[in-house]
Amino acid sequence: MNIVTALALGITAILFMIFGIVSIYKPSVVGRECYWIKHKFFYIPKYKISTNQYYHNQIKIVGLGLLVASIIMFVFTIAYVINPNVLNLIKQ
């Protein structure tokens, strides 16, 4: 078992889960529109909240997909820790 591979799978699954939960519960935060405003010598980002409900529903569906992907990745990580040969299923 390679500990780096197990950590990479676990960290990626945690990131998928965080982005999925934020997408489901706060789609207005994920779906904000950004535009740049010049402030003296450099540009700063400004955000405006999207009011399109269809867009928010699509963000929630993507968040649900990220949650399912994180659960599958956690199961795969646990299977990899128990039996490292499970990685050969993907490599073939």
Tell me, letter by letter, the H, E, C secondary structure of the chain. Answer: CCHHHHHHHHHHHHHHHHHHHHHHHCHHHHCCEEEEEEECCEEEEEEECCCCHHHHHHHHHHHHHHHHHHHHHHHHHHHHHHCHHHHHHHHC
Sketch the domain layout of the chain as residue ranges. 3-91
Q: What pLDDT does 92 receive? A: 65
Q: What pLDDT does 33 receive? A: 84
Q: What pLDDT does 71 receive? A: 94
- Tens-digit pLDDT profile for the chain (92 aa)? 678 888 998 999 999 999 999 999 998 888 888 888 988 889 998 888 888 889 899 999 999 999 999 999 999 888 888 888 877 777 76
Kindly report the pTM of this predicted structure. 0.76
Q: What pLDDT does 3 receive? A: 86
